[in-house]
Amino acid sequence: MKKMLVFQTDFTYKEGAVAAMYGVVKSVDEDIEIITATHEIPQYDTWSASYRLYQYIDFWPKGTIFVSVVDPGVGTSRRACVAKTRNGYFIVTPDNGSLTHVDRYFGIEEVREIDETINRLHREDNGAVSIFHGRDLFGYCAARLASGIISYEEVGPVYDLSEIKRHEIKEAKVTAEGIEGMFEINDPNFGNLWTNITLKQFLSSGFKMGDMIHTIIYHNDEIVFDQKIPYYDSFGKAADHSVMIYNNEINKMGLAEVVGNLCQDYDLSYGQEYRLEFKHE
């Protein structure tokens, strides 16, 4: 049975890169089903690539192959790999941090470096191309794996899991006054921000539905937001343009401006420099 290919990149649809990449897949095997997760990962942002895989991978049928190409180091010595996860998936990607969250939360069972002598597209007119591994290496190798032309063992040699490139992941911290965390990612269409604080941690800290919670946000230790805001399970329970706390789709606590855009209207973003506190009063 052929496996589905699910793609995420930072290519956008502004030119022909996605079409060329998908064309290579169909040239290997026209029956492979191609699914687009997103081609709007922020440019060069391997942290976001890693988080988005973690966000959706576990909802797909076991055996699905994910191709993640956010590759600022294309053409350099960074490894091209296929990782086999402990929860039953394969990820074809540059090993540049994009495996971080899947490795932390689901686990990686094995990782293999792609053997470019057999699993890279070679054509007379593209022999010198070093800048489009999404098409010539990752897409091509993924198609061969999905079609059954090669087995996982034929991707290339195994390398040690300790050699996988990983971003630092900060953990939420329970304090005497409540709980402290960071913004890990945003919801770019609606401007919501997602924290690294799980629902379980939040509730075990004593917060409950309907509470007005003192929320302080720091950017590089400068306070940029300081308000009491409610915790609700539905955006419809809060007034338009008010800020609220909610449990997001992967059971982590988020902040939203109802019928607004928190990131834009409050000049907020995500990353290690953003810290927040939920405090009891």
C-alpha distances (whole Å) from 24 to each of 143, 151, 189 are: 8, 19, 31
Report how far apart, in Å, the C-alpha atoms of 42 and of each of 11, 222, 268 are: 9, 25, 16
* pLDDT at site 130: 58
| Phi, psi at 20, each rounded to 5° | -65, -45
Residue 223: pLDDT band with limits 50, 70, 90? very high
Residues 6+ apart with CB under 8 A from 176: none
Q: What is the pLDDT of residue 253?
A: 98
Mean pLDDT score, 105-116: 96
pLDDT of 123: 67
Query: What digits encode the pLDDT tens for the residues 111-133?
Result: 999 998 999 887 665 555 555 77
pLDDT surpassing 80 at residue 211 = yes
**Domain ranges across the chain:** 5-163, 173-279
Statement: 173-279 belongs to CATH 2.40.30.90: yes
Q: What is the pLDDT of residues 233-269, one digit of tens each?
A: 999 999 999 999 999 999 999 999 999 999 999 999 9
Query: Contact 116/124 with Cβ under 8 angstroms?
Result: no
> Is pLDDT above 90 for 139?
yes
pLDDT at 120: 87
Domain 5-163 = CATH 3.40.50.10790: yes
Mean pLDDT of 10-27: 94
Per cent of the chain over pLDDT 70 is 95
**Signed CA dihedral, 151, 157, 158, 162: sign only:** negative
Q: What is the pLDDT of residues 144-168, one digit of tens each?
A: 999 999 999 999 999 999 999 999 9
Task: List pLDDT tens digits, range 43-97.
Answer: 999 999 999 999 999 999 999 999 999 988 776 678 999 999 999 999 999 999 9
pLDDT at position 131:
52
pLDDT at 158: 98
CA distance 176 to 146: 51
Alpha helix (H) residue ranges in 88-198 = 100-105, 133, 140-147
pTM equals: 0.93
95: amino acid identity, one letter: D
Query: What is the model's pLDDT at position 121?
Result: 87
pLDDT at residue 75, as a whole number: 65
